[in-house]
Structure 1
Amino acid sequence: MKNAIQIIKDRASWRTFKDMDIEPEKINALRSAIEGDKTGPFGAKVRMVLVDIEAVDAEKAMKLGTYGTIEGAKVFITAAAEKKDKSLADVGYIFEEVILLCSSLGLGTCWMGVTYDKAGFSAAMNLKENEDLIAVTPVGYAVEKRRLKDKAMRVFVKSDTRHHWNMMFFEDDFTKSLNKEAAGRFEQPLECVRIGPSASNQQPWRIIKADNAFHFYLEYTPKYKFQFGQTIDIGIAMKHFELACNELGINGKWQFARPAIECGEKKYYSTYVTE
């Protein structure tokens, strides 16, 4: 993806859309991007479907509700994954690239993990028995001015606030925070992780830099009722880091051998080994 770093910086969540059709060429670009099953880094197959409300039958369209959280959207993209361990992280990794593609086309989106009619969207995408519907996003031209309800929601989840580096990034183990100077050429990839979207903006990812390797951990938020969404978040973080590294010409690959690092209640997920 060209200009991934800037696209990641510019991306924002939008819940209110103009009464304006998406051009056919952009719809075709999205259909091409989501065509066929995609396999994530953890091995689960992810299937995505573009749902045009005006193209589905009236009975199905009436069931495609978002409980008032989304207004004006005519197009949605759904993401389902086969029922496997860590499939939610695979959805985060794969679906986020589609979200960023939408942003690059000038289209607004919003990750939705719970605030939609799951039965209605499952029917619209003909969900298979071996699949779970994991996420949905509206797609369209966002309004220039956010509605009051949208502003209130952003304030509630602190959408414009991010944790500081010393809470997210570490050097060698979890006892020493990683500063930007020590991060060197990886400052931008790590910053792209820091500003990424997450469930209720909890930002649960934690990364340890150990020489040329970056170990990704998930620190679940205690008593948070949507912890499953935080597993999606680790996939988003992985995608942001990888895209930023690619743009900067930093070659690397994902590995999954847990390092011998004391991590307490944090859960290890993956390691990006760079050249």
Structure 2
Amino acid sequence: MTNLDAVKARHSVRSYLSKPIPEDIRKQLQEEIDRCNQAGDLHIQLVTEDPETFSGFRARYGKFENVQNYIALIGTDAPDLDEKIGYFGERLALFAQTLGLNTCWVAMTFRKGAAKAECEVSKREKLVCVLALGYGKTQGMSHKIKTLDEICSDTEQLPEWYRQGLECALLAPTAMNQQKFRFSRTENFVSVKATGGFYSNVNLGIVKYHFELGAGTENFKWK
């Protein structure tokens, strides 16, 4: 399974089995985290067997159950941090799916202080959010998504690469499943803008990664 295959297979999962992640899977995941950190100049960290971060009221409110592993999405605080976290965090979520793991983006319903205690976070850095990680009790379920017309104008006679990119973007997870983004294109130059909502810049990074997977980076340039 490739990351593109994982786009269709992956759904958010909040309840997990009491099954540890094997060492070989952790190693592959850590290697991909290292690649993302290098490419994005980030400080993303893998945390396993931590029962505290997803304990208490916040986790119950978010309907999380038995989350003991997660990926802490951390980087130097800067204007572009949230978008980079979305982009590389989704790359990791899809990679985890290819390894047989399940994930869920989590921004509010976890104990941030407990997560920071398990990680290395300098004064210049920010823990933006986390990816809950593990073997799900289920594989999750799909949600209603928007149509192409709702995220893009002029949807007639689209180049195939552009259509495939848009369809892949529509499968991207966004906060509250709001899908508040809109695409435009001039020849092979593509633009996407957030149209509001919670964690809009994180969502934008997630959507951009999905679009690139579907469209192929050799077919267009961001503008």
Q: Give yes or no for TM over 0.5.
A: yes
Residue equivalent to 1:108: 102
Q: Identify which of 54, 65, 68 aligns with 1:71.
A: 65
Moved more, 127-136 or 184-193: 184-193
Structure 2 counterpart SS, 1:81: strand
Q: Does 1:178 align with 2:155?
A: yes
Q: Does 1:32 align with 2:31?
A: yes
Structure 2 counterpart SS, 1:33: helix
1:9 is matched by which residue type in structure 2?
A: K
Post-superposition shift, 1:117?
0.7
Higher helix share: 2
Q: Say if 1:4 and 1:244, in contact at 8 Å, map to a contact too.
A: no
Post-superposition shift, 1:64?
4.9
Give the distance between the partners of 1:133 and 1:244, measured in 2 at CA.
29
Give the structure, 1 or 2, with the largest relative contact order (CA under 8 Å, sep 6 or more).
Answer: 2
Post-superposition shift, 1:24?
1.3
Using a 3 Å threshold, how does the CA distance of structure 1 residues 212 and 117 change in structure 2: closer, same or farther?
A: same
Q: Which runs of 5+ in 1 are unaligned?
A: 55-60, 147-153, 171-176, 222-226, 255-270
1:178 is matched by which residue type in structure 2?
A: T
Q: Say if 2:54 and 2:68, in contact at 8 Å, map to a contact too.
A: no
Q: Deviations over 1:175-209 (max 9, x none)?
A: xx324x42433211110101110000111111002
Q: Deviations over 1:220-250 (max 9, x none)?
A: 14xxxxx3x111000011111112233xx73
Give the distance between the partners of 1:239 and 1:145, measured in 2 at CA.
22
Give the distance between the partners of 2:76 and 2:139, measured in 1 at CA.
38
Deviating 4+ runs (over 6 angstroms): none
Post-superposition shift, 1:211?
1.1
Moved more, 80-89 or 3-12: 3-12
Post-superposition shift, 1:39?
4.6
Q: Identify which of 208, 220, 223 aligns with 1:238.
A: 208
CA RMSD in angstroms comes to 2.1
Give the distance between the partners of 1:141 and 1:115, measured in 2 at CA.
19
Using a 3 Å threshold, how does the CA distance of structure 1 residues 52 and 4 change in structure 2: closer, same or farther?
A: closer
Using a 3 Å threshold, how does the CA distance of structure 1 residues 39 and 130 change in structure 2: closer, same or farther?
A: farther
Using a 3 Å threshold, how does the CA distance of structure 1 residues 235 and 166 change in structure 2: closer, same or farther?
A: same
Moved more, 63-72 or 29-38: 63-72
TM, length-normalised to structure 2: 0.89
Q: Say if 1:53 and 1:74, in contact at 8 Å, map to a contact too.
A: yes
Higher Cα Rg, which structure: 1
Q: Which runs of 5+ in 2 are unaligned?
A: none
Give the distance between the partners of 1:7 and 1:217, measured in 2 at CA.
24
Structure 1 counterpart SS, 2:182: strand
Q: Say if 1:38 and 1:94, in contact at 8 Å, map to a contact too.
A: no
Q: Deviations over 1:101-152 (max 9, x none)?
A: 0111111000001111111111211211001111111211111387xxxxxx
User: Percent same amino acid among aligned pairs?
Assistant: 23
Post-superposition shift, 1:46?
1.9
Residue equivalent to 1:62: 52
Structure 2 counterpart SS, 1:110: strand
